[in-house]
A and B are shown apart, each in its own frame.
Chain A
Amino acid sequence: MQNVITGPVYVVRDNIDTDQIIPAQYLNLVPTIPEEYEKLGSFALCGLPESLYPIRYVREGQLDSEYPIVVAGRNFGCGSSREHAPIALGSAGCEVVLAESFARIFFRNCVATGELYPCESTARLCELLKTGDIVSVDLDAATVRVAATGDVHSFKPLGDVRPVVDAGGIFNYARQSGMIPARQ
């Protein structure tokens, strides 16, 4: 677990649904099978229409993305309950999604799996940033600092969600905090 995550952002707009995060044709991959987990990452965000998003999140032929931070508008992760969505992003190397708002099940799945930190930004960052801009996300301070301009934006503190993602998901958290017995 890190406090500060620095790197280039990948910017998408409103209403990015789970079909765009991981198209339905790849749901034949089972996330708990390690090779298939890897493979899911290679398809992360590949459902975004090329006409709107000519730069791809994961380059052709790669398993991982060069963007550890995704910036989005409203209602990120709407649509289906498929946990493949946060898993595909996490498997591709995404650590944080900074969106104006999240769909409920996606948010919950991010936390349950511990794949990434879902942060709700107060500013409309998807208008202010473009793909490739370097930012630093400080989870303790709940701020994003834009490297080129020095501008600092805030997001809603993660609160109770933070320790669960830090632990690597709900099961690890429940074991660490004694809610369920430790593994024999």
Chain B
Amino acid sequence: MTLTEKILARAAGKASVRAGDNVWVNADILMTHDVCGPGTIGVFHREFGRDAKVWDRDRVVIIPDHYIFTADSKSNRNVDILRDFVREQGITYFYDVIDDPNGSWRFDPGRGPLKRQYGSQYAGVCHTALPQKGHTRPGEVLFGTDSHTCMAGAFNEFATGIGNTDAGFVMGTGKLLLKVPETMRFRLEGRLQPGVMAKDIILHIIGEIGFDGATYRAMQFDGDGVAGLSMDDRMTVANMAIEAGGKNGIFPFDARTAEYVEARTKLNGTRQTYEPVEPDRDQKFIYELVVELDKLEPTVACHPDPGQRKKAKELSSIRLDRAYVGSCTGGKTSDFVEFARVLRGKRVVIDTFGVPATPEIVHDLQNTRWGGRTIWDILVDAGVRMTENAGCAACLGGPVDTFGRINQPGLKCISATNRNFPGRMGDKESQVFLASPATVAASALTGRITDPRELLPA
């Protein structure tokens, strides 16, 4: 069995499963957020009754992160709906925007978009917060009401996005009927060269198989190249399995996985026991691709979908209006470090926005110094508008007052995010080009799409 099949077999209480089998699996964690949580709660109450209780209050994790720093009253209300539900159900893990469990959330636009407006429990973008807060464990099944839930596959678990109705069902029963997907294997070999990042691996792969090349399938990333990838790198790759239509992305378990998970579960006092899955000898794949990491170059997905692959160096004629680094995929500490490495001591020539995925990342950037300056200050000195209000921000457009949202037609933006369908970051007549933080940085310095290797310090 493949890694995905092994996890699903275990979660279904069966000795083995095969691709195509429909099985009821037990969920280990159900995650929801402010955009889909209220609707999921609505389905849960409608179907199981007003007085119903969630199947396990320690396993429903609620993370407001999408439409938080906006004056839109319905969006603020949605955070309050989550808080009411948490109180009613006694949910253990709720990463509220404010500290008062009986309060209500109102964003204050008068204080501006850059200065922090959240309390001590707020955790930021759900997919990045889940591992940081100790909710990702090898061998488990994670459902989330968000398509990029597949990011947790970096931790050797089965993680996939579901809709509100399915999530309402899981909330009440802890189970879901799934079809076991066929597995596609991507064997990563060798090491990435300087200026080339994990983002380039996944943009390369999606370009290879197409935007729907993994529809209904699992994407397994293995091979000796995995050992050289940090957990952040693996998260970037697994995150974008959905951009090829994949049901999940998954990595093998190794010492790095163990180290990360053990540190985080301990720090946060979450469950520390887990059972990873190891690859079998007789895995059946529907497709195999070897990716030679040494040969990859900085890669861009052009408007209007993540499968429009080009090399950055081929696109130097494309003039840009803005640049954006942020999101679950591209707003982690390591992403900002690469961003800063290229920008250090230079000045951007187009509007450039930086949105860390989580408050912890804000903290890292404000407390890591290179030659006396923090990474945060280096970015601000380079002209980047850095916000402390960690969250999804303009990755998915959001309400019109969202920080970094594209509110004019015709603008071209290069972005470290994961999706670029028309209108994704705001105006439906704007264009988004997806790239690594290094490529975004180089492009922000020149105002056109630029291969970061041209600018990297030797």
Point out residues on A near B: beta carbons under 8 Å: 15, 17, 19-20, 23-25, 27-33, 47-51, 74-75, 78-84, 101, 103-105, 108-109, 112-113, 169-171, 180, 183-184
Contact = CB atoms under 8 A, between A and B. Distances in A.
B398 interface: yes
Q: Which 3 A-B pairs have the closest CB atoms?
A: A32-B42, A83-B163, A81-B161
24 contacts: A15-B211, A15-B305, A17-B422, A23-B397, A23-B428, A24-B424, A28-B35, A28-B78, A28-B399, A32-B41, A32-B46, A49-B423, A49-B429, A74-B212, A80-B396, A81-B161, A81-B162, A83-B164, A84-B39, A104-B247, A105-B162, A109-B166, A171-B43, A171-B47
B231 interface: no
B265 interface: no
A114 B149 CA distance: 24
Contacts, number: 143
A103 B241 CA distance: 13
A167 to B, nearest CB: 13
A19 B423 CA distance: 7
Contact of A82 (B163, B168, B211, B245): B163
A20 B163 contact: no
Nearest to B398: A24
Nearest to B22: A160
Interface string B26-38: 0000000001101
A104 B396 contact: no
A115 to B, nearest CB: 10
Contact of A20 (B42, B396, B423): B423
Interface in B391-407: 396-400
A170 B167 CA distance: 12
Interface in B131-160: 145-147, 149
B146 A103 contact: no
A85 B140 CA distance: 29
A105 B424 contact: no
A81 B165 contact: no
Most B CB atoms within 10 A — which of A82, A104, A108, A112?
A104
A24 B397 contact: yes
A183 B45 CA distance: 12
Contacts of B421: 15, 17, 19-20, 78-79
A78 B283 CA distance: 29
Contact of B74 (A28, A31, A104): A28
A50 B400 CA distance: 19
B199 interface: no
A82 B47 contact: no
Contacts of B35: 27-28, 82
Given A28-B67, A47-B422, A83-B36, 14 more contacts: A15-B304, A15-B305, A19-B421, A24-B424, A27-B67, A30-B39, A31-B164, A75-B215, A81-B146, A82-B163, A103-B212, A104-B245, A108-B163, A171-B165
A5 B423 CA distance: 32
A78 B39 contact: no
Q: For the complex, would chain B's binding face be called helix, strand, loop or mixed by DSSP majority?
A: loop
Given A49-B422, A49-B423, A24 B396 contact: yes
Contact of A105 (B46, B81, B147, B169): B147
A49 B66 contact: no
Contacts of A15: 211-212, 304-305, 421
Interface string B242-265: 000101000000000000000000
A23 B400 CA distance: 11
B216 interface: yes
A103 B163 contact: no
A184 B50 CA distance: 12
Contacts of B428: 20, 23, 47-50
B415 interface: no
A127 B415 CA distance: 33
A83 B161 CA distance: 11
A84 B35 CA distance: 10
A131 to B, nearest CB: 18
A170 B165 contact: yes
Nearest to A180: B173
A64 B305 CA distance: 29
Nearest to B81: A30
Contacts of A108: 162-163, 166
Nearest to A160: B22
Contacts of B66: 27
B43 A32 contact: yes
B245 A78 contact: yes
B22 to A, nearest CB: 9
Contact of B145 (A74, A81, A113): A81
Contacts of A30: 38-39, 42, 78, 81
A108 B178 CA distance: 10
Nearest to B67: A28
Contacts of A50: 428-429
Contacts of B36: 81-83
A9 B110 CA distance: 47
Contact of A25 (B146, B163, B398): B398
Query: Most A CB atoms within 10 A — which of B49, B399, B424?
Result: B424
